[in-house]
Amino acid sequence: MDATFKIIFNGQLHQDADITSAQEQLSQLLNIPHNIVIQLFDGKAYALKKDLSSIDAVKTESSLKKFGLITKVEPQLTKPLNNQLVLTEHSEDTNKHISKSTHEKSTSAQSELLNTDAASSKNSTIEQSNKYKLLHNTLKSALYFCYCALFIITLLGAVISFNALKNNFGTPSNVTTNNLSYQEYKQYLIDQNSLNQSVQKVTNDQTANPTLQKSNEYFNRFSSLINSYAQSTGQADIKTMGGDKLQQHLQEIDDLGAKNEFWQQLIRLSKSLDNDKHAIGKLNNTDPAKVQWINAVDWISQSYIRQHQNSQTVNNSPVTTYEPSNPILNLTLLISMLSLFSLLVIAIKMKLRAIKNT
């Protein structure tokens, strides 16, 4: 029987060899999967080929050397080598391990994906549940508010209806009698006030002497200053312009406000005119800058009258009294509000029922 040889490889490569290229070429040469070829480079000794003649062994070693593998040819004993069995068994175990590992990885990825989907679904369910709870509580609060509003509106409607019925079905004879007697009493008060005012006027006339004396003093000072100004500017004096009638007119204006307030303004005006009498006296009568004292007095009189008329208008403005509104209009408004709140109650109840069913 001819001698046979085997090729031993212990995972070593030449320095310039590429391990990736070597593994691919070795996989094609041995016709085994690439993942098994990778296991051959773990540093252990493996019989890549066996039962080779010397010529075939040399050729195969030459081919492996081209791949960059460092191998050696050894004679093969009659007893089969354990390494070849180890290579076969190792290849089968490696395939099993790889397929098992791949299956475990795919199973783990699927379980993680399922767990992620379940967690996200659970979170969305909890979030939606919280949203429905918040909406449910809000709607219940709105429903309670509508109930309270309906109760208050119903009470108001009952009160307004009772008052309206009471006014419509009351005894008109008593009201008429009361109104007539009240009108008579008002007339009596007016008559009494008229008598009291007439008596008070007489009393005031009798006791007004000190006030009248003060007014005369103001008028005399006013007349003295105005006459001086009129003489310097060639205008008519106080006596020419009415004298006593002018005093009476000015006194009536002073009575509109505080005592002697208007007289004091006239004194200030007459002093200002008297101070300018020399400058104004040099002007022609046709000159608009030449002030006529009667016009100045009339201007200040009209201004004072308008001022106190406006203040009296503000003080004596009629007070707006509250007029009782029409009960029919109030009832109509309350009925409209009842209808509105009833619709709101119905809508809220329907929404609550829909949430409960969901």
Asked if pLDDT for residue 323 goes beyond 60, the answer is: no
Closest CA to 296 of 317, 326, 269: 269
Asked if pLDDT for residue 212 goes beyond 90, the answer is: no
Could you report the per-residue pLDDT of 59-105, keeping only the tens digit for each? Answer: 988 888 888 888 988 888 755 444 444 444 444 554 555 445 455 54
Give the Cβ contact number of residue 22 at 10 Å.
Answer: 19
The domain limits of the chain are 4-80, 208-311
Could you report the per-residue pLDDT of 229-281, keeping only the tens digit for each? Answer: 888 888 888 888 888 888 888 888 888 888 888 888 889 988 988 898 888 88
71 phi, psi to nearest 5 deg: -130, 170
3-class DSSP assignment, residue 257: coil
pLDDT score of 158: 86
69 phi, psi to nearest 5 deg: -90, 140
Could you report the per-residue pLDDT of 196-209, keeping only the tens digit for each? Answer: 665 455 445 544 56
CATH number of this structure's domain 4-80, picked from the four choices 3.30.1390.10, 3.40.50.720, 3.40.50.150, 3.40.50.10440: 3.30.1390.10
Alpha helices in 234-289 (DSSP H): 244-254, 261-275, 277-281
Give all strands of the β-sheet with 69-76 in edge-to-edge order. 46-52, 4-13, 69-76
Task: Measure CA 80 to chain center.
Answer: 93
CA distances from 246 to 128, 242, 253, 274 (A): 94, 5, 11, 19
Return d(Cα 187, Cα 169) in angstroms, integer: 30
